[in-house]
Structure 1
Amino acid sequence: MNIAAKNLSIATEAAAILERLGVDKGAYTGGDIRTFSPVTGEQTGGLKTVTSAEAAAKIDQADDAFRAWRLVPAPKRGELVRLFGEELRAAKSDLGRLVSIEAGKIPSEGLGPKCRK
């Protein structure tokens, strides 16, 4: 069921979608950088800033992950990428709606050019 049809706020709808997608609520609430809907102007979330040291640690973690990933045999990487694509396709409707909310796009534009009908 489309949450928007229930006349929920954009922020409530976005939070419900993120919850369905398994995103931890702490990742988009309570931060010091506020996000707003370009359509309604209402606050949709809050992102946390990090210190230079925290950013450097995250960059180091990403570098470590890359170095580990490149050691995975190509067929296994390909299979993992294929499975990731399946997960994205399964969540296409929710992800498209999030794009619509974030960017102020109409729903068909949020889904992307190949998904419009």
Structure 2
Amino acid sequence: MTHLDVLKAAGLDNAELTSRTLLVRSPIDGATVAHVAETPASAMPEIIADAQSAFKAWRTVSAPRRGELIRLLGEELRAAKDELGAVATLEAGKIVPKAWVKCRK
């Protein structure tokens, strides 16, 4: 499986991985993994404001409901364990069994 295969399995499309300016290399062998988009500094105030707004909305959700949503997220993450393990291997250079441990935490 190639780097692009792993990232595509994780839901990224070819355009997101090959047509941008920031070079990403594998810690395993130094091979080019992708070319991703850089976020310009001028976009940061809006991104930060969006994050603050999302936080304010999230904190109004009741604790039991937040817990249920986190549990559902955990189920989705476990369902994608193989794909996430492959991404963790690619990003950190870990062997797959170690990457799976990372995904379970």
TM interval, short-chain normalised:
0.7 to 0.9
Deviation at 1:16, TM superposition (A): 3.0
Structure 1 segments of 4+ aligned residues over 6 angstroms from their partners: none
- 1:52-67 matches, within 5 Å, as 52-67=41-56
2:9: which partner in 1? 17
Q: Deviations over 1:61-104 (max 9, x none)?
A: 00000000001111111111110111111111110111111111
**Residue matched to 1:101:** 90
Instruction: Report the Cα offset of residue 24 of structure 1.
Output: 4.7
Task: Judge conservation of contact 1:14–1:44 (CA < 8 Å) in 2.
Answer: no
Conserved 8 A contact 2:25-2:34:
yes
- What is the TM-score of this pair, normalised by structure 2? 0.83
**Aligned-partner Cα distance in 1 for 2:26–2:103:** 25
Residues 44-66 of structure 1: CA distance to partner in whole angstroms, max 9, x if unpaired? Answer: 11222222221111111000000
C-alpha contact (below 8 Å) 1:17/1:98 kept by paired residues: no
1:11-90 equivalent positions in 2, closer than 5 A: 11-19=3-11, 23-90=12-79
Tell me by how many angstroms 1:26 deviates. 4.5
Cα separation, 2, equivalents of 1:45 and 1:76: 38
8 Å CA contact retained: 2:88, 2:99: yes
State the distance in 2 between where 1:104 and 1:66 align.
Answer: 33
Amino acid at match of 2:28: V
Identity %: 35
How many residues of Structure 1 are paired with residues of Structure 2 in the alignment?
104
* Gapped regions of structure 2 (runs ≥ 5): none
Amino acid aligned to 2:36: L
